[in-house]
């Protein structure tokens, strides 16, 4: 069902698309109060796609009031879990029916290859919504054993109004990682998409409404971080912020919370993730394939990108040779051509940032093993830089582009030390033929997800999020994500004889 179409079919869909342009609040599209707009363009071509409502603090106040009203009157949270499940499954079905449109819109707005949008982003988005829908009527609350004189119940309740502040690198999927558990739990949401990639979020909101999610429960406020993200972070009636993006912006949300109502903050931030290849790795072809996909999937615009290859010195040359062979399959160019696996970076300014790391290759006299070429001011070919030391910016900073650094080691302890030599701790991969080494290294690396002999992000049932400066406050995906969007309430009922006697009197 999610097989890619041909380039001609994708272009025909693109030609017929209607782009949503207004914020979505209380079940209807509405322009910004102040009437302002911002432009959204196709990064691959520079073509203007749409002018979108540039909302501000007044629009945020309106959306929060509507979301709070919807939460307070119980139009969603007081439906049974089974009823919410059915609506969310209808929502998933509508997404499925519109999958080609969503894949093309995502690709046009972000520069991502349509092939990935069609085969990964859209199906994973739908699966995430289905998974949380299916979870919600299978959870049990607790009664605790507190003796014969009382009954203690511990129940989950939806946390309230949730602001979901999203990044541009996986617009649909990050939307699903936040809204699926939030809506399943019974919360009202206000989504603030990244300005670069607003279109699919608006279309999804429309489909959610069509599926039967009541007005005011799913709202989208479009605009900049300063004008929309900050007022949401500071709002006294927002109960929680669920954020994915950079660590510096994540840090701001902790300040906003401290300066307002101590709202709960869950952050999924950056990464500088190692792929550690031990001397006893068994199948170097498989390692090369996985390392390439870990580093270059989504142009490396991925918080879980394995951007540091840490390889035993004795096998480095052989591994690089095989990486070179796999890179031939990673063609760069028109995102709407399903033959291409590397599309455009999300914007000119992001291209400039990523390109500055290519300048370091020259200034630090590092060795370019593959790539290094740019095209049309927005495309960067997959690039592998050899001989990178921990002192280099390439080793330390999140690049968020298709650049892989290579560093060697000679002992297991050196490998672990290099892997942990970062302020981040999101993901890591270990390649080894030894079960003992796999377990030891996975336990010693300080990261929220360690994959062994593969690259990946787990599935909907496994939590995703980071140690150290990669995350804060909770995890995306899985039952643990569901619990992010709930408060726990204890209800203690006195059933002692004294209480019964008093009740009779």
Ligand X SMILES: NC(=O)C1=CN([C@@H]2O[C@H](COP(=O)(O)OP(=O)(O)OC[C@H]3O[C@@H](n4cnc5c(N)ncnc54)[C@H](O)[C@@H]3O)[C@@H](O)[C@H]2O)C=CC1
**Residue position matching structure tokens 């059933």:** 495
- By CB under 6 A, is residue 247 in contact with ligand BAL? no
**Distances in Å between the alpha carbon of 198 and those of 7, 205, 358?**
24, 11, 29
Residue 81's binding partner out of ligand BAL, ligand X, none, with CB under 5 to 8 Å set by partner kind: none
Residue 275's binding partner out of ligand BAL, ligand X, none, with CB under 5 to 8 Å set by partner kind: none
Work out how close the CB of 207 gets to ligand X at its nearest, in angstroms, rounded to a whole number.
Answer: 21
- By CB under 6 A, is residue 198 in contact with ligand BAL? no
Q: Please give the helix or strand (H or E) that residue 221 lies within, else none.
A: none
E-strand stretches of 182-254 = 188-192, 218-220, 240-244
HSE at residue 312, side-chain half, CA atoms within 13 A, is 16
Work out how close the CB of 270 gets to ligand X at its nearest, in angstroms, rounded to a whole number.
Answer: 5
Work out how close the CB of 299 gets to ligand BAL at its nearest, in angstroms, rounded to a whole number.
Answer: 12
Kindly write out the interface string for residues 128-167 of this chain, putting x where it contacts ligand BAL by CB under 6 A and - elsewhere.
---------------------------------------x
Residue 132's binding partner out of ligand BAL, ligand X, none, with CB under 5 to 8 Å set by partner kind: none
Work out how close the CB of 401 gets to ligand BAL at its nearest, in angstroms, rounded to a whole number.
Answer: 13
Q: Which is the catalytic residue, given 268, 279, 301, 381?
A: 268
Work out how close the CB of 297 gets to ligand BAL at its nearest, in angstroms, rounded to a whole number.
Answer: 9
Is 268 designated active site?
yes
Question: What are residue 162's phi and psi, to 5 degrees?
Answer: -115, 130
Residues 6+ apart with CB under 8 A from 356: none
Work out how close the CB of 230 gets to ligand X at its nearest, in angstroms, rounded to a whole number.
Answer: 4
Restricting to residues 449-468, name those near ligand BAL by CB under 6 A: 457
Residues 6+ apart with CB under 8 A from 498: none
Tokens found for residue 393: 């910016």
Burial class of residue 128, CB neighbours in 10 A (0-12, 13-18, 19+): buried
Please identify, among the stretches 94-102, 133-141, 296-304, 312-320, the one whose residues bind ligand BAL according to the rule CB under 6 A.
296-304
Of 303, 338, 260, which Cα lies nearest the Cα of 457? 303
Distance CA 17, CA 330 (A): 28
Work out how close the CB of 14 gets to ligand BAL at its nearest, in angstroms, rounded to a whole number.
Answer: 25
Question: What are residue 45's phi and psi, to 5 degrees?
Answer: -125, -15
Distance CA 334, CA 341 (A): 9
List residues near ligand X by CB under 6 A: 165-169, 192, 194-195, 224-226, 229-230, 233, 244-246, 249, 252, 269-270, 303, 350, 353, 398, 400
Distance CA 75, CA 188 (A): 10
- By CB under 6 A, is residue 472 in contact with ligand BAL? no
Work out how close the CB of 190 gets to ligand BAL at its nearest, in angstroms, rounded to a whole number.
Answer: 19
Residue 304's binding partner out of ligand BAL, ligand X, none, with CB under 5 to 8 Å set by partner kind: ligand BAL
Restricting to residues 174-193, name those near ligand BAL by CB under 6 A: 174
* Residue among 208 and 234 whose Cβ is closer to ligand X: 234
Distance CA 362, CA 383 (A): 13
How far from the centroid of its chain's Cα atoms is residue 26's Cα?
25
- By CB under 6 A, is residue 302 in contact with ligand BAL? yes
Restricting to residues 348-407, name those near ligand BAL by CB under 6 A: none
How far from the centroid of its chain's Cα atoms is residue 325's Cα?
30
- By CB under 6 A, is residue 197 in contact with ligand BAL? no
Residue 138's binding partner out of ligand BAL, ligand X, none, with CB under 5 to 8 Å set by partner kind: none
* Residue among 166 and 207 whose Cβ is closer to ligand X: 166
* Residue among 102 and 174 whose Cβ is closer to ligand BAL: 174
- By CB under 6 A, is residue 169 in contact with ligand BAL? yes
* Residue among 103 and 269 whose Cβ is closer to ligand X: 269
Please identify, among the stretches 56-64, 185-193, 297-305, 486-494, the one whose residues bind ligand BAL according to the rule CB under 6 A.
297-305
- By CB under 6 A, is residue 303 in contact with ligand BAL? yes
Helix, strand and coil in the chain, % to nearest 5: 40, 20, 35
Distance CA 196, CA 347 (A): 8
Please identify, among the stretches 5-13, 299-307, 401-409, 432-440, the one whose residues bind ligand BAL according to the rule CB under 6 A.
299-307
Of the candidate residues 10, 76, 170, 218, the single one contacting ligand BAL (CB under 6 A) = 170
Mapping DSSP to helix (H, G, I), strand (E, B) and coil, where does residue 36 land? coil
* Residue among 91 and 400 whose Cβ is closer to ligand X: 400
Mapping DSSP to helix (H, G, I), strand (E, B) and coil, where does residue 37 land? strand
Mapping DSSP to helix (H, G, I), strand (E, B) and coil, where does residue 388 land? coil
Residues contacting ligand BAL: total by CB under 6 A: 9
The answer to whether 265 and 275 have CB atoms below 8 angstroms apart is no
The answer to whether 154 and 490 have CB atoms below 8 angstroms apart is yes
203-239 CB burial, b ≥16 within 10 A, e <16: bbbbbbbebebbbbbbbbbbbebebbbbbbbbbeebb
Work out how close the CB of 136 gets to ligand X at its nearest, in angstroms, rounded to a whole number.
Answer: 26
Residue 121's binding partner out of ligand X, ligand BAL, none, with CB under 5 to 8 Å set by partner kind: none
What is the Cα gyration radius of the chain? 24
> Which residues in this chain contact ligand BAL in the complex, by CB under 6 A?
167, 169-170, 174, 244, 302-304, 457
List active site positions.
268
């Amino acid at each position: 069902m999610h097989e890619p179409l041909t380039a001609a079919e994708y272009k025909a869909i693109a030609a017929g698309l209607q782009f949503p342009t207004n914020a979505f609040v209380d079940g209807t599209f509405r322009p910004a109060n102040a009437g302002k707009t911002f432009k959204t363009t196709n990064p691959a071509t520079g073509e203007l796609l749409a002018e979108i409502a540039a909302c501000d603090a007044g629009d945020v106040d309106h959306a929060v009031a509507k979301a709070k009203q919807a939460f307070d009157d119980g139009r969603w949270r007081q439906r049974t879990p089974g009823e919410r499940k059915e609506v969310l499954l209808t929502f998933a079905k509508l997404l499925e029916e519109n999958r080609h449109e969503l894949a093309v819109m995502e690709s046009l707005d972000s520069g991502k290859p349509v092939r990935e949008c069609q085969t990964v982003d859209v199906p994973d988005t739908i699966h995430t919504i289905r998974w949380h829908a299916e979870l919600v009527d299978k959870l049990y609350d607790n009664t605790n054993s507190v003796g014969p004189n009382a009954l203690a119940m511990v129940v989950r309740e939806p946390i309230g109004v949730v602001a979901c502040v999203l990044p541009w690198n996986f617009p649909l999927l990050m939307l699903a990682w936040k809204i699926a558990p939030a809506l399943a739990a019974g919360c009202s949401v206000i989504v603030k998409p990244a300005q670069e990639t607003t279109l699919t979020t608006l279309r999804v909101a429309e489909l959610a409404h069509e599926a039967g999610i009541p007005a005011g429960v799913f709202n989208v406020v479009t605009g900049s971080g300063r004008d929309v993200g900050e007022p949401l972070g500071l709002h006294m009636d927002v109960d929680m912020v669920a954020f994915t993006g950079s660590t510096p912006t994540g840090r701001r949300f902790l300040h906003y919370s401290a300066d307002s109502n101590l709202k709960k903050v869950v952050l999924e931030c950056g990464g500088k993730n190692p792929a550690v290849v031990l001397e006893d790795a068994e199948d170097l072809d498989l390692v090369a394939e996985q390392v390439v996909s870990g580093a270059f999937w989504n142009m490396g615009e991925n918080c879980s990108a394995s951007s540091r290859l840490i390889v035993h010195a004795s096998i480095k040359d052989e591994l690089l040779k095989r990486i070179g062979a796999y890179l031939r399959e990673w063609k760069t160019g028109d995102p709407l051509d399903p033959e291409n696996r590397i599309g455009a970076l999300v914007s000119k300014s992001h291209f400039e940032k990523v390109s500055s790391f290519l300048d370091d290759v020259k200034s630090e006299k590092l060795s370019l093993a593959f790539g290094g070429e740019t095209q049309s001011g927005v495309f960067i070919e997959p690039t592998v830089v050899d001989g990178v030391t921990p002192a280099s910016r390439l080793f330390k900073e999140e690049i968020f582009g298709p650049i892989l650094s290579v560093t060697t080691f000679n002992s297991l302890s050196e490998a672990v030390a290099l892997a942990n030599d970062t302020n981040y701790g999101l993901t890591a991969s270990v390649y080894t033929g030894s079960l003992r080494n796999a377990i030891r290294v996975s336990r010693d690396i300080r990261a929220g997800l360690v994959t062994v002999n593969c690259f990946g992000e787990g599935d909907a049932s496994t939590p995703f999020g980071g140690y150290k400066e990669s995350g804060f406050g909770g995890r995306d995906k899985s039952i643990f994500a569901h619990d992010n969007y709930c408060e726990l309430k204890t209800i203690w009922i006195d059933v002692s004889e004294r209480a019964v006697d008093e009740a009779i009197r």
